[in-house]
Structure 1
Amino acid sequence: MMTRKNNWLLTAVQMGLLAWSGATLAADKVYVANEGADTVSVLDAASFKTLASVRVGKAPHNVQVSPDGKVVWVTNNGEPAQTADASEHKEMAQGSHDAMGKPGAVWAIDTATNAVVAKVPVGMHPAHVVVSPDGRFAYITNGGDNTVSVIDTAARSLVATIPVGKFPHGLRISPDGKQAYVANLKGGTVSVIDTASQKEIAQVPAGKGPAQVGFTPDGSLVLVSLSEENAVAVIDPATRKVIRKVAVGTVPIQLYVTPDSRTLLVANQGTPKKPGKTVSLIELESFKVAKTVVTGAGAHGVVVDREGRYAYVTNMYANSVSVLDVKDRKVVKTVPVGKTPNGISITP
């Protein structure tokens, strides 16, 4: 029999959990790098409304929220005044992925205030940024000099520069934090970095135009978008070999696996003349495309929330973000953002 004291305690705990849950949901935000506007859009993940637009460096290409949700890292090409001619990067945003050949930076935004709190120089033409699961290091691909920069997130300073393959672009860190996989866009390979030694330990032949990599949360598979093959390569991380390929839409760029490791979402960007407007949903048990969802012109970046309920997709040529209901496999909202939205990240 439950006593009044125990009943009161249970109620208090339940109310506390509800309050904590509500606070967490209210705090969830989506960050979008608007490459053509030199801004980062901040969206409320619950209402899908735009909360803020943060001015950053020239041509921000990618964003990543830290594991504790306190900082957003943004790759860009430094102060706008120092990089007035972004024509080459603009071409990259439209699909050519040519390097600018100019030094870049990664900036840090405080999520509580939306203020830029750090600016760290990195290599030439920084593309993507990821943060280690423990939050200690940020890894940035430098397409212009074929390296990956490693930043100490607490000191906000460069601690290592790792040579990798030709024109590194997208990268992700394994769920256990021990390795980083890097898609070498013009090298046709995926570099494997040992995060303990901060060195490249292997290059895996993947296919034509590898643009981004993704891990299943259980760590059993590595997925690689092949932008020049209209396919996704599946790599076994144990053998570091491609075990199969799955056909998707035209010029697939970013991809993301749902938290249950069952479904892979692939954004099919297409080209400026023939924009892709879809996201392929691949069931990883069968490696079959279960659904192709129409989003917007130039579908490029994709991220899935922690519950696996919604996916957020940047539409580069439509200047918008599509909100995709993962279970129902349909777009439920389209949110206008800045010009040429590219990378996208959500509160962990």
Structure 2
Amino acid sequence: MVGVGASTAAADTVIDSIPVGELPTGVAITPDGSRVYVTNGGNSRVSVIETATNTMVDTIAVWDSPQGVAVTPDGSRVYVAHPFREVVAVIETATNTMVDVVSVGTLPTGVAVNPSGSHVYVTNQLDDSVSVIETAGNNLVDTVTVGDLPLGVAVSPEGSRAYVTNVSDKTVSVIDTATNTEVDTIGVGDQPMAVAVNPSGSHIYVTNQVDNSVSVIETADNNLVDTVTVGALPSGVAASPDGSRVYVTNAGENTVSVIDTATNTEVDTIRVGGRPVGVAATPEGSRVYVANVDGNTVSVIAVERCLGSLCIDTGALVGRGSMGSSGS
């Protein structure tokens, strides 16, 4: 679709709603963009979505109440946190089966894999720590002390830093991955939840659930440089592959806020399903997938870009892909 739009504005549209398991929360996409893995906290399953058709093509049995999820850079493994079992499950994507379980700390929730795929970082909420897993043997190799009630975690593009949100402290811990030590603490908003790093590694974005805001941090000196007002109860956050946009799920009003990173302003609001939490963008940037806890669905957003008066709906260019899922 080509049409008239505001200069450099985003005009994204929900093009599909995919039924998944009970209480979907975490979302991760394979590096080739062909599959989406969704944790279903209510039924001990991970749903697998095929992005070409936007249909659920597999369901993987894991342990109870899966939450955080991350895919390795080569796409061969998926790591899933189980808060009430104090473990991380390892899924082999070739067979979509659970092949290993790694014991970690108490109430593990957030999961992130470094760019080389050699290590996985897991936040343990009640231990105030981050577990470091070596993926070669799926062994716990280190534990890093961080702030109070750590939840979200993200790794920088070059792998030298891991960023962890500490809910009770209103801070973000900065971990040096070479030494696995906390080297800095950054003050942010009230009840920081999720964190995302932009593709260049120059900035990180943190959702603050009580403040209804997103903190923008410059990584060169770990300084808070801006705060963006978004919707009610912001939860998940994801940066677009080109770094021009940040997507924030607002669990309190069933929307996704779109932030223009050049101006750090909210430029669009997209209505999705009930209580959206997890969010992830495809590697080419044409789609954003959002897990909706209420309704047990995943919303598919087609990304539209406008340059001057020319708007291109990338969803229309690459195909919407319904094939049995309910369009919206």
TM range (shorter): 0.7 to 0.9
1:321 aligns with 2:298: yes
Matched with 1:203 is: 185
Name which structure has the greater RCO, CA cutoff 8 Å, separation 6+. Answer: 2
Matched with 2:18 is: none
Matched with 2:283 is: 306
Rounded Cα–Cα distance in structure 1 between residues aligned with 2:91 and 2:62: 9
Matched with 2:65 is: 59
Alignment of 1:227-242 (within 5 A): 227-242=209-224
SS in 1 for 2:277: strand
Rounded Cα–Cα distance in structure 1 between residues aligned with 2:149 and 2:46: 24
Identity %: 38
Cα pair distance change 1:278/1:27, threshold 3 Å: closer
Rounded Cα–Cα distance in structure 2 between residues aligned with 1:201 and 1:26: 34
1:147 is matched by which residue type in structure 2? S
Alignment of 1:146-185 (within 5 A): 146-185=128-167
Return the match for 1:293 from 270, 273, 276.
270
Deviation at 1:336, TM superposition (A): 7.3
* Structure 1 unaligned blocks of 5 or more: 1-23, 78-101, 271-275, 338-348
Matched with 1:218 is: 200
1:58 is matched by which residue type in structure 2? D
List structure 1 runs of 4+ shifted beyond 6 angstroms.
24-27, 329-337
Cα pair distance change 1:152/1:192, threshold 3 Å: same
Matched with 1:138 is: 120
Deviates most, 237-246 or 300-309: 237-246
Cα pair distance change 1:124/1:28, threshold 3 Å: same
Cα pair distance change 1:251/1:73, threshold 3 Å: same
Contact 1:41 1:50 in 2 (8 A): yes
Contact 1:63 1:75 in 2 (8 A): yes
SS in 2 for 1:211: strand
Matched with 2:103 is: 121
Contact 1:191 1:204 in 2 (8 A): yes
Rounded Cα–Cα distance in structure 2 between residues aligned with 1:330 and 1:288: 24
Deviation at 1:230, TM superposition (A): 0.3
Rounded Cα–Cα distance in structure 2 between residues aligned with 1:35 and 1:186: 23
1:74 aligns with 2:56: no
SS in 2 for 1:316: strand
> Size of the alignment, in residue pairs?
285
Contact 1:293 1:329 in 2 (8 A): no
Matched with 1:41 is: 47
Rounded Cα–Cα distance in structure 1 between residues aligned with 2:126 and 2:238: 25
Deviation at 1:329, TM superposition (A): 9.3
SS in 1 for 2:105: strand
2:296 is matched by which residue type in structure 1? N
Compute the RMSD of aligned alpha carbons.
2.1
Cα pair distance change 1:320/1:122, threshold 3 Å: same
Rounded Cα–Cα distance in structure 2 between residues aligned with 1:336 and 1:317: 17
Cα pair distance change 1:336/1:191, threshold 3 Å: farther
Matched with 1:84 is: none
Larger Rg: 1
Rounded Cα–Cα distance in structure 2 between residues aligned with 1:53 and 1:46: 17
Cα pair distance change 1:224/1:212, threshold 3 Å: same
Rounded Cα–Cα distance in structure 2 between residues aligned with 1:306 and 1:71: 17
Rounded Cα–Cα distance in structure 2 between residues aligned with 1:131 and 1:206: 24
Cα pair distance change 1:333/1:323, threshold 3 Å: farther
Deviation at 1:333, TM superposition (A): 7.8
Instruction: Please identify which structure carries the higher helix content.
Output: 1
Contact 1:322 1:333 in 2 (8 A): no
1:245 aligns with 2:222: no
1:302 is matched by which residue type in structure 2? V
Rounded Cα–Cα distance in structure 2 between residues aligned with 1:297 and 1:44: 22
Cα pair distance change 1:25/1:218, threshold 3 Å: closer
Deviation at 1:321, TM superposition (A): 0.1
Matched with 1:188 is: 170
Give deviations 1:184-206, integer Å, cap 9, x for gaps.
Answer: 11110000000000111111111
Deviation at 1:45, TM superposition (A): 1.2
Contact 1:302 1:312 in 2 (8 A): yes
Matched with 1:107 is: 89
* Structure 2 unaligned blocks of 5 or more: 1-29, 305-312
Q: TM-score, normalised by structure 1?
A: 0.78
Matched with 1:11 is: none
Cα pair distance change 1:156/1:243, threshold 3 Å: same
Deviation at 1:219, TM superposition (A): 1.2
